[in-house]
């Protein structure tokens, strides 16, 4: 099971969270990564936690002001990237372009999707994983694995029907070890979460609870 913590633009200390994630990963043997703001990538990577970008743009080098270049995030220590998060939606052609850009830079990819139909479409683009995240549950107190377990099972089936090599992650409302265990039982191989750790008074304790479900 892979736990990927998206710090979004929350007013947390990215180094505190990164250090906690590194320590919990080392102690538990569970793969834990942190996706900070782009400006914090290199600082977070220096903690030796697995570091991910929150987004990469579908372009290469050139006249692309405001873009997040895949090569740049890789050069600053990122090992993977989220693509098409519900708070940063892309057109399908741009999702494809971002996946290709990430591959070019040697980055692992997780494409976010709202529902099983979108999971199937995303899987067809050949990312490493797809994360199913119903937008109405993002940032809430109820995880998708509890509120709508069928959507996780259907997402797993949709990805397998298109490309069995694409993993399925579960996101939206995940915050406890019980949520992680439930997601695993439904066929998910990873967890994508944000506020459950980024907003926690004690990020390390929150992460320890999460890995307890594995």
Give start and end residues of each alpha helix (H) in 35-171. Answer: 41-45, 70-75, 92-104, 116-123, 144-147, 149-162
Active-site choice (16, 50, 61, 85): 85
Answer yes or no: 85 catalytic: yes
Dihedral Cα 85, 16, 196, 11, nearest 10 deg = -70
Name the nearest CA neighbour of 190 among 156, 157, 164.
Answer: 156
Is 5 within 8 Å of 197 (Cβ atoms)? yes
> What DSSP letter does each residue of 11-58 carry, written as one string?
SS-HHHHHHHHHHHHHHH--EEEEE--GGGHHHHHTTTSEEEES---S
Q: Could you give the CA distance from residue 144 to residue 173 in angstroms, rounded to a whole number? A: 6
Active-site choice (50, 55, 133, 204): 133
Q: Indicate left, alpha or beta for 29 from its phi (over 0: left) and psi (-120 to 50: alpha).
A: left
The residues, any chain, with a CB within 8 Å of residue 172's CB and separated by 6 or more, are: 133, 134, 135, 137, 138, 140, 143, 144
Q: What count of other Cβ atoms lies within 10 Å of the Cβ of residue 66?
A: 5
Answer yes or no: 133 catalytic: yes
Q: Could you give the CA distance from residue 36 to residue 4 in angstroms, rounded to a whole number? A: 11
Residues that are catalytic: 85, 133
């Amino acid at each position: 099971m892979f736990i990927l913590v998206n710090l979004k633009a929350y007013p947390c200390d990215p180094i505190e969270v990164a250090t906690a994630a590194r320590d919990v990963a080392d102690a538990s043997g569970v793969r834990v990564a942190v996706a900070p703001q782009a400006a914090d990538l290199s600082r977070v990577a220096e903690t030796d936690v697995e570091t991910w970008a929150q987004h990469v743009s579908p372009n290469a080098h050139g006249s692309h002001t405001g873009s997040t270049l895949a090569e740049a995030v890789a050069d600053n220590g990122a090992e993977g990237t989220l693509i098409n998060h519900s708070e940063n939606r892309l057109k399908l052609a741009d999702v494809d372009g971002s996946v290709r850009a990430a591959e070019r830079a040697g980055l692992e990819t997780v494409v976010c999707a709202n529902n099983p139909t979108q999971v199937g479409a995303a899987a067809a683009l050949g990312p490493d994983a797809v994360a199913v995240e119903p937008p109405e549950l993002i940032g809430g107190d109820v995880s998708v694995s509890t509120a709508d377990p069928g959507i996780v099972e259907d997402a797993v089936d949709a990805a397998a029907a298109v490309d069995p090599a694409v993993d399925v992650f579960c996101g939206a409302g995940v915050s406890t070890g019980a949520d992680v265990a439930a997601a695993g039982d439904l066929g998910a191989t990873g967890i994508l979460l944000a506020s459950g750790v980024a907003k926690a008074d004690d990020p390390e304790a929150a992460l320890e609870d999460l890995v307890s479900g594995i």
